[in-house]
Amino acid sequence: MNLINRKELLERIDGDMDFLEEIAACLSEDLSTYIRTLDQGLQTWDWNAISTTAHAIAGMVGNFCADEVQNAAKVLEGAADSKNCDETSRANEQLKEMLLDLGIELNTLISAGKGAGN
């Protein structure tokens, strides 16, 4: 797992692990809503909802220096914009997996960072 560019992320937040923990909690909360919206959108092929949500996720994960995850969200946005069912389903699955991994990697990073701080 190396989805996060840790050096860049820590620079961006000035090594403030409490703040990282705060925004990671926001990510976790918001992602569960976004994933639900994506799943519902895929059930009804609501292309606009899928595209908008994928765009929002791309922006959000960008804050964590997770370029690969951001690209996966952009792929989903593009697939929804072109109304391609197969590609959209595939991109959605891939993104969900990556988001799960991102959450784990973030938790690990925070625990390690806070442990080091203590």
Q: Which stretches of the chain bind another protein, using CB under 8 A?
A: 11-14, 19, 22-23, 26-27, 30, 55-56, 58-60, 62-63, 65
Q: Which is nearer to another protein, 18 or 93 (CB)?
A: 18
Residue 10 CB, shortest distance to another protein, in Å, is: 11
Handedness of CA 70, 76, 78, 80 (dihedral sign): negative
Q: Which residues contact 101 (CB under 8 A, 6 or more apart)?
A: 1, 3
CA–CA separation, 103 vs 43, rounded Å?
A: 25
Q: Which is nearer to another protein, 63 or 94 (CB)?
A: 63
Tokens of 60: 């959000």
Q: Which is nearer to another protein, 69 or 79 (CB)?
A: 69
